[in-house]
């Protein structure tokens, strides 16, 4: 199941619609990283609202996406982690350390606006956090 | 509901099938949606372990009753290389595959009962259970 990636302004929005296999997740990672360059995106939002489980592979892939996108100059934010999913992730010992998260798409967009604005104000420098 | 479900694991799509069936079974047995998620996550980890280490195997799902408790039982079997040091494999962060090393210890934290039996060269069986008290 391919994940649709929308372009909105300077941002890419990947909206996961259903359960993903490991191969689907890897494919999403490659597609996003390639598109950050093609569309000169400043921000990436991965919406995981529809995911009913996040296991270690999913978490690792999301972390990889965020780190790779940052290396390509784009900020990533993961939105829509459901309460049960968050609970199971913590029990499993999975963290998204170094990766930004927001409650939903709206908050994610607001977050990226703040981040990219900050970057413009600071000049060309990249923002480094954790 | 006593029917055992057997899901062969040989590709990443089977991992998704196994965890979805596990979630459905837990829902049928009356587990909360939080517990359903926990069960699905644990199945995902151990089913992926089968793929990663043994290439193929199976996951069996069933529901058991014990007094006033009902449990979902998950048995993951493979005829893979086996685990040389089971207690080590249950330590956080220990991995021989380059993974996160969270599979077994993580699944153990998610479930109530957890047992691993393994013999080198013969294979591994992981049995795990999640219980809930039935309504009086």
pLDDT at B101: 56
A76 found inside a domain: yes
Contact call for residues A42 and A25 (beta carbons, < 8 A):
no
The arithmetic mean of pLDDT across residues A30-57, rounded, is 95
Per-residue pLDDT at A130 exceeds 50: no
Q: State which residues form the domain around A80.
A: 5-121
**DSSP label at B90?**
T
Chain B nearest-CA distance from A2, in A, is 14
- Provide, as residue numbers in chain B, all residues whose Cβ is less than 8 Å from the Cβ of A22: 12, 15, 48
What ipTM describes this predicted complex?
0.85
A104 found inside a domain: yes
pLDDT at A93: 86
Structure tokens at A118: 């900050």
Residue B65 main-chain phi, psi, to 5 deg: -120, 135
Of the candidates A108, A105, A38, A43, the residue with the CA atom closest to the CA atom of residue A74? A43
Dihedral in degrees, nearest 10, Cα atoms B11, B17, B18, B23: 160
The arithmetic mean of pLDDT across residues A49-56, rounded, is 93
- Compute the distance between CA of residue A39 and CA of residue A42 in angstroms, rounded to an integer: 9
pLDDT at A36: 96
pLDDT at B97: 59
Q: Are B107 and A88 in contact (CB < 8 Å)?
A: no
- Compute the distance between CA of residue B108 and CA of residue B102 in angstroms, rounded to an integer: 10
Average of per-residue pLDDT values in chain A: 90
- Provide, as residue numbers in chain B, all residues whose Cβ is less than 8 Å from the Cβ of A48: none
- Location of structure tokens 């784009």: A74
pLDDT at B1: 46
Q: Are B106 and A91 in contact (CB < 8 Å)?
A: yes
A29 found inside a domain: yes
Q: Tell me which of A68 and B98 has the higher pLDDT.
A: A68
Among A58-72, A115-129, B116-130, name the one with the lowest average pLDDT: A115-129
The arithmetic mean of pLDDT across residues A81-98, rounded, is 91
C-alpha distances out from residue A95 to A27, A88, B15, B127, Å: 22, 11, 21, 26
- The count of domains in chain A is 1
Chain A, nearest residue to B48 by Cα: A57
* CATH number, domain containing residue A50: 3.30.750.24
pLDDT at A121: 63
Question: What 3-state DSSP class applies to A122?
Answer: coil
Ranges in chain B, pLDDT < 70: 1-3, 93-102, 136
A69 found inside a domain: yes
- Provide, as residue numbers in chain A, all residues whose Cβ is less than 8 Å from the Cβ of B19: 53, 55
> Where exactly are the structural domains of chain B?
5-133
A21 found inside a domain: yes
Q: Are A19 and B20 in contact (CB < 8 Å)?
A: yes
A55 has a chain B CB within 8 A of its CB:
yes
Among A1-5, A27-31, B37-41, B65-69, name the one with the lowest average pLDDT: A1-5
A16 has a chain B CB within 8 A of its CB:
no
The arithmetic mean of pLDDT across residues A3-24, rounded, is 94
A62 found inside a domain: yes
What is the CATH code for B5-133?
Answer: 3.30.565.10
- Location of structure tokens 């999403």: A28
A34 found inside a domain: yes
Q: Tell me which of A125 and A49 has the higher pLDDT.
A: A49
A130 found inside a domain: no
């Amino acid at each position: 199941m391919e994940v649709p990636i929308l372009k909105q302004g300077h941002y890419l929005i990947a909206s996961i619609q259903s359960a993903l296999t490991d191969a689907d997740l890897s494919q999403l990672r490659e597609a996003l990283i390639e598109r950050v360059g093609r569309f000169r995106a400043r921000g990436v939002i991965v919406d995981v609202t529809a995911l009913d489980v996040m296991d270690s592979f999913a978490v690792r892939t999301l972390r990889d996406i965020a780190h790779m996108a940052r290396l390509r100059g784009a900020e990533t934010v993961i939105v829509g982690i459901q309460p049960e999913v968050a609970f199971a992730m913590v029990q499993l010992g999975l963290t998204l350390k170094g990766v930004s998260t927001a409650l939903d798409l709206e908050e994610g967009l607001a977050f990226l606006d703040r981040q990219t604005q900050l970057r413009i104000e600071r000049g060309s420098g990249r923002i480094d956090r954790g | 509901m006593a029917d055992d479900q057997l899901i062969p694991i040989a590709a990443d799509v089977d991992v998704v099938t196994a965890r979805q069936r596990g979630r459905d079974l837990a829902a049928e047995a009356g587990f909360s949606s939080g517990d359903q998620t926990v069960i699905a996550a644990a199945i995902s980890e151990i089913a992926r372990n089968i793929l990663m280490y043994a290439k193929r195997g199976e996951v069996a799902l069933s529901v058991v009753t014990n007094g006033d408790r009902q449990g979902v039982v998950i048995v993951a079997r493979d005829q893979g290389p086996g685990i040389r040091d089971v207690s080590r494999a249950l330590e956080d962060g220990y991995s021989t595959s380059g993974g996160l090393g969270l599979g077994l210890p993580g699944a153990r934290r998610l479930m109530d009962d957890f047992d691993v039996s393994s013999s080198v060269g013969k294979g591994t069986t992981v049995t795990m259970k999640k219980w809930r008290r039935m309504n009086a």
